[in-house]
Amino acid sequence: MGQSNYFSDTNTQINTKESVKDLGIILCSDMTYKNHIETVCQKVKGISAWICRTFKSRDAKLMLTLWKSLVIPHLDYCSQLWSPSTRHLMVKLEMLQKSFLDRILSLNHLNYWEKLEALKLYSLERRRERYRILYTWYILEQLVPNFNFDGEVGGIHCSFNQRLGRKCKPNSVGPRSKRNLWKGSLSQEGPKLFNVLPMNLRNTSNCFKDVFKKQLDDFLRSVPDEPLLPNLFVFRRGDSNSLTEMVNHRTPRVG
């Protein structure tokens, strides 16, 4: 790679790189996380293969325990940051969980959506959106630092309206040339996802994290979770599985 116009504190010119790794997250020079997602996919495939070689049983409870304890942490780590917005990367990640669940013989008669419901699992796409909502709430509750650069610039902020309740303020994406860099980022998607929650959930404040998590999970159980996958010929209620669209198809919970 060539040299840049940046210098270190020792006045040494810093060379540009295709990607850099910080705290385990790989950021590409085009400001995407495609290399990180590829690394995660390879790691998950390796661990899944090791599990299937090591354990002969395909009991649903055992497989689910192994998936949650050994694999899911790699898919969850910092997903608020690197969560993809392009469909092909979403499908690539979702196929990891589908391939693992397909090895549970007792569920072979079910399609992927039905397996998620039977095992009370979220799709990976829904998990990532859930984490983005949680992190947005943490920022609003000042439980974690905001990532604004100068007062109102760049962070996540909210306003309160007596009729609409607490809602996040939409962030400007700036010049058209930078819109692709902002698209799918936490600063853009976090507020959108938070704003589709019911008012009583958005207004939840000054409580323990577990209280908000439980209320959020109760709400998410009423929203269809239908991730797009190839060769899954089932009627789909929305063009995407994002909460921003699927929340319109939720089933109100009774009691």
Residue 217 lies in a domain: yes
Residues 22 and 115 in one domain: yes
Q: Give the ranges where the chain is alpha helix by DSSP (H).
A: 34-54, 60-66, 72-76, 79-82, 87-101, 112-119, 124-140, 179-182, 186-195, 199-202, 209-220, 243-246
Distance of CA 41 to the CA centre of its chain: 15
pLDDT of 57 reads 96
Residues 178 and 111 in one domain: no
Residues 72 and 159 in one domain: no
Residue 155 lies in a domain: yes
Residues 100 and 170 in one domain: no
Asked whether 79 and 124 are in contact (CB, 8 A), the reply is: no
Q: What is the pLDDT of residues 20-58, one digit of tens each?
A: 999 999 999 888 899 999 999 999 999 999 999 999 999
Token pair for residue 69?
């304890």
Running along the chain, 255 residues long, what does each successive block of 10 average in pLDDT?
69 83 91 94 98 96 97 96 93 97 95 95 97 96 82 78 91 63 84 96 96 97 92 76 90 58
Rounded-to-integer distance, Cα 33 and Cα 26, Å? 6
Token pair for residue 206?
């000054």
pLDDT of 2 reads 54
Q: At what angle do helices 112-119 and 87-101 cross, to 10 degrees?
A: 60
Residue 6 lies in a domain: no
Token pair for residue 144?
């974690």
pLDDT of 254 reads 47
Please name every residue paired with 167 in a beta bridge, in sequence order, or none if there are none: 159
Residues 139 and 231 in one domain: yes
Look up the domain containing 94 and give its range.
14-121
Residue 233 lies in a domain: yes
pLDDT of 178 reads 60
Rounded-to-integer distance, Cα 250 and Cα 245, Å? 10
Residue 1 lies in a domain: no
Residues 162 and 115 in one domain: no
Residue 100 lies in a domain: yes
Residue 90 half-sphere exposure, CB side, CA atoms within 13 Å? 19
Residue 208 lies in a domain: yes
pLDDT of 174 reads 61
Give the sign of the dihedral formed by CA 147, CA 150, CA 155, CA 157.
Answer: positive
Residues 136 and 61 in one domain: no
pLDDT of 181 reads 66
**Domain stop point among 89, 121, 153:** 121
Rounded-to-integer distance, Cα 124 and Cα 112, Å? 12
Token pair for residue 184?
């799918």
pLDDT of 232 reads 74
Residues 149 and 111 in one domain: no
Residues 137 and 69 in one domain: no
Residues 243 and 144 in one domain: yes
**Domain stop point among 95, 121, 147:** 121
Residue 142 lies in a domain: yes
Give the sign of the dihedral formed by CA 77, CA 83, CA 84, CA 88.
Answer: positive
pLDDT of 255 reads 44
Residues 48 and 158 in one domain: no
- The pTM of this model reads 0.89
How many distinct structural domains can be found in the chain? 2
Residues 101 and 204 in one domain: no
**Domain stop point among 121, 147, 173:** 121
CB-based burial of residue 19 (10 Å sphere; 0-12 exposed, 13-18 middle, 19+ buried)? middle
